[in-house]
Amino acid sequence: MLSVKTELLEALRLALEDLLPGAGAKAAFESPKVAAHGDLATTAAMQLAKPLKLNPRQLAENLRTSLLATLPYQTWVAALDIAGPGFINIKLKPAAKQQVVRSVLAQTSAYGRQADSGKRMLVEFVSANPTGPLHVGHGRQAALGDALCKLFASQGWQVYREFYYNDAGVQIGTLATSTQLRAQGFKPGDACWPTDPVNPVSKNFYNGEYIADIAADFLAQKSVKSDDREFTASGDVEDLESIREFAVAYLRHEQDLDLQAFAVKFDNYYLESSLYTSGKVDAAVARLQAAGKTYEQDGALWLKSTDYGDDKDRVMRKGDGSYTYFVPDVAYHITKWERGFQKVINIQGTDHHGTIARVRAGLQAADVGIPLGFPDYVLHTMVRVVRGGEEVKISKRAGSYVTLRDLIEWTSKDAVRFFLLSRKPDTEYTFDVDLAVAKNNDNPVYYVQYAHARICSVLAAWGGDTATLGQVDLTQLDSPAALSLMLLLAKYPEMLTAATDGLAPHDVTFYLRELAACYHSYYDAERILVNDEVLKLARLALVAATAQVLHNGLAVLGVSAPQKM
């Protein structure tokens, strides 16, 4: 139906251009708020009434007459009705809606996808420092980031996935010291815990049992390998640098196992420490100073971030010579731009909200051609986990929080992905473990997957070649249930585009639930394997197209489409 809509939109554009040169840009369709009013609607008459100095309803009548004289409207439109002050509601002929079945069956997995645009983008997500297992909040990031990558890829973007982390900061030093004490035989609660006898300032030691596991493997002189590093332990408890290197590699390996269980892969791992060793941080600061966007005050170096909309200027370099945490972020994003990424999205927790204005201010002040609003941010809240009606906060693996792997082991990769994507990222979300494993219609991922499996069961019972269904006679698909299902199938490409533009993968989950409900209603309303061969093949073509769109949508979320359940 996409080609049908394109023809109708072009005819509308030409008609508006005839009424007023330049008005063709206002050609657009929307969905009527009440389904009974029509399949498409346009408000163009109301928009043009004032510049043309005409009554909007009369203008709508004139436009209606013009449109009905065109071939596309004669071919595909059953009725054009004027409503209210000048709405034009369009009711399509069944033949127009039936076109979507052929489109889906012809394009299969490409349905809804756009051609490669050649545009490059980078999505940075998860980006957890290697100080412990990935928690459920990281899981929400992983689901969001991977789904956004798949969405943009569907719209023709060349997408690059990046994981950014610090392997040499204060947290890593605390990790090394915590591991060293465990290797020396100490544990949380001992006199030296949580205060490091060498560095009393460091009090936030890591208490999870995974630290004991790292220490044991370090003493055993084991080797560990992750996607971006490999290290063999020296076994010397006095060798703090070896402990640090081993602990980082060990936990990066653990994170890789979490990501593998979640089926998430990255193209690159970028180290914050490399920004310092390569001189990129110093270069970024020098660029800002040369541009006259900094000043010295109270022994610190400040960025004039208020020049770019920030609520106050920000300290860049403290009196002790160390940089504040947003400075390497500015340097890092300059490298993203210099690497040729026209669009960049960062997936981060809502606690990072305060950094957005200062990072963008730094990028504008650097004056390297970066556009306003670069990069885009998607901020997410944390996730509460409920099991047996009670909140779960403790993990055997991590000690103080539920890990991503815990959640996958309790439920499934598919359930975790679908559930974590089923709400807007910035809304609070409670993950109900019991619901995620329930095999009923209350479980949204089960409901959607069951619709796909149900169709596969029908197709298997038929036993024919689904490749032949793209050419069957569809004229008998004219019942209200069939027309509703076809109209919803036709909305899939537009939904994908809107979800991409709005950075809203939750829109895909909403659509899939609606499509599953529409299919279940159709299945209950009309028997598919009827004796009438022509009608049977038409209905089989419709449900095969529905299965394909369910499969395509689930693939965007990284969720499987099982053939049996």
**In this structure, are 550 and 456 located in the same domain?**
yes
If you average pLDDT over residues 430-438, what whole number do you get? 97
Residue 440: pLDDT over 50: yes
Determine the pLDDT at residue 354.
87
**In this structure, are 261 and 282 located in the same domain?**
no
Residue 473: pLDDT over 90: yes
Q: Does residue 148 lie in a domain region? A: no
DSSP 444-458: HHHHHHHHHHHHHHH
In order of 126, 141, 311, 390, 398, the CA distances from 247 in angstroms are 19, 23, 40, 34, 15
Range of the domain at 221: 170-265
Q: What is the dihedral of CA 68, 72, 78, 82, to 10 degrees?
A: -40
pLDDT tens for 220-250 read 999 999 999 999 999 999 999 999 999 999 9
**In this structure, are 341 and 238 located in the same domain?**
no
Give all strands (DSSP E) within 487-544, no chain letters. Answer: none
Q: Does residue 108 lie in a domain region? A: no
**In this structure, are 228 and 206 located in the same domain?**
yes
Q: Which of 380, 403, 421 is the last residue of a domain?
A: 380
**In this structure, are 175 and 259 located in the same domain?**
yes
Q: Does residue 474 lie in a domain region? A: yes
**In this structure, are 257 and 284 located in the same domain?**
no
Percentage of the chain lying above the pLDDT 90 cut? 88
If you average pLDDT over residues 281-289, what whole number do you get? 96
CATH code at position 550 = 1.10.730.10
Give all strands (DSSP E) within 406-475, no chain letters. Answer: 429-432
Q: Does residue 435 lie in a domain region? A: no
**In this structure, are 190 and 86 located in the same domain?**
no
Residue type, 55: N
Q: Which of 265, 286, 313 is the last residue of a domain?
A: 265
Determine the pLDDT at residue 419.
98
Maximum Cα–Cα distance across the chain: 89
pLDDT tens for 487-521 read 999 999 999 999 999 999 999 999 999 999 999 99
Determine the pLDDT at residue 32.
87
Q: Does residue 139 lie in a domain region? A: no
**In this structure, are 6 and 84 located in the same domain?**
yes
If you average pLDDT over residues 296-311, what whole number do you get? 94
Give the gyration radius of the chain's Cα atoms. Answer: 29
pLDDT tens for 46-67 read 999 999 888 999 999 999 999 9
If you average pLDDT over residues 460-485, what whole number do you get? 96
If you average pLDDT over residues 151-156, what whole number do you get? 98
**In this structure, are 445 and 551 located in the same domain?**
yes
pLDDT tens for 339-366 read 999 999 999 999 889 899 999 999 999 9
If you average pLDDT over residues 407-420, what whole number do you get? 97
Determine the pLDDT at residue 202.
44
CATH code at position 320 = 3.40.50.620
Q: Does residue 118 lie in a domain region? A: no
Residue 93: pLDDT over 90: yes
**In this structure, are 545 and 445 located in the same domain?**
yes
pLDDT band at residue 108 using 50, 70 and 90 as cut-offs = very high
Determine the pLDDT at residue 195.
56
Determine the pLDDT at residue 169.
85
Q: Does residue 547 lie in a domain region? A: yes
**In this structure, are 552 and 445 located in the same domain?**
yes
CATH code at position 12 = 3.30.1360.70
Number of domains in the chain: 4
Report the alpha-carbon distance of residue 418 to residue 426 in Å, rounded. 16
Q: Which of 44, 60, 92 is the last residue of a domain?
A: 92
DSSP 359-402: HHHHHHHHTSSPPTTPSEEEEE--EEEEETTEE----TTTSSS-
Q: Does residue 564 lie in a domain region? A: no
**In this structure, are 231 and 295 located in the same domain?**
no
Q: SS3 of 89, please?
A: strand
